Amino acid sequence: MSRIGKKAVSIPSGVTAAIDGGQLSVKGPKGTLAMPLSDNITYEVGEGSISVQPANGTREARAFWGMQRTLVQNLITGVTEGFTKVLEITGVGYRANSQGKTLKLQLGYSHDVDFAVPEGIEIKTPDNTTIEISGIDKQKVGQVAAEIRRWRKPEPYKGKGIKYRGEYIFRKEGKKK
């Protein structure tokens, strides 16, 4: 039994959910999100909540149960609050600057890295070593953050690079004399 799956997802006021054509669509103050429905799971939109149950007793249905409930919860959270990831840049001369739909990164290469911001994502740079990525789709926000981080991952000796806020970088000692 899935402990997460047993709980119904509550729908806050101002948010509407509907099932049509094999998709669950959720509309809220920040926008609209949709998710394809799994055949192994039954979804019920009631008053004020969405319940997720396995359609049958198969192992695959039970394995999908908790994940599908979490995906539904992410839709509700996305259209009400949104999601944010914060990246921090460490290193001498490393900096970022947001210019419209482009993020300009200086990461020690011979050229600047221009990152095109995808649709539905907002990138802010409060200072030149912090990047705030926000949007309503949790998967898209995480993917954009991972793509930006991939340009210069943190290295273990000096800790230079792009890291998530709160991420611990395992440091190595370096060579001895």
pLDDT tens-digit series, residues 54-109: 999 899 999 999 999 999 999 999 999 999 999 999 999 999 999 989 999 999 99
DSSP assigned state of 91 = S
Q: How many domains does the chain have?
A: 2
Whether 90 and 131 share a structural domain: yes
Instruction: Give yes or no for a contact between 160 and 154, defined as CB atoms under 8 angstroms apart.
Output: yes
CATH of the domain at 119: 3.90.930.12
Q: Pick from 41, 58, 80: which residue ends a domain?
A: 80
Q: Pick from 20, 52, 80: which residue ends a domain?
A: 80
Which domain, by its residues, includes 60?
3-80
pLDDT at res. 54: 92
The reported pTM is 0.89
pLDDT at res. 176: 86
Whether 57 and 101 share a structural domain: no
Render pLDDT for 4-61 as a digit per residue (tens, 0 to 9): 888 999 999 999 999 998 899 999 999 999 999 999 999 999 989 999 999 998 999 9
How is residue 65 written in tokens?
A: 């149960």
Question: Residues 6 or more apart from 144 whose CB is under 8 A from it?
Answer: 85, 117, 118, 121, 123, 133, 135
Whether 55 and 118 share a structural domain: no
pLDDT at res. 1: 67
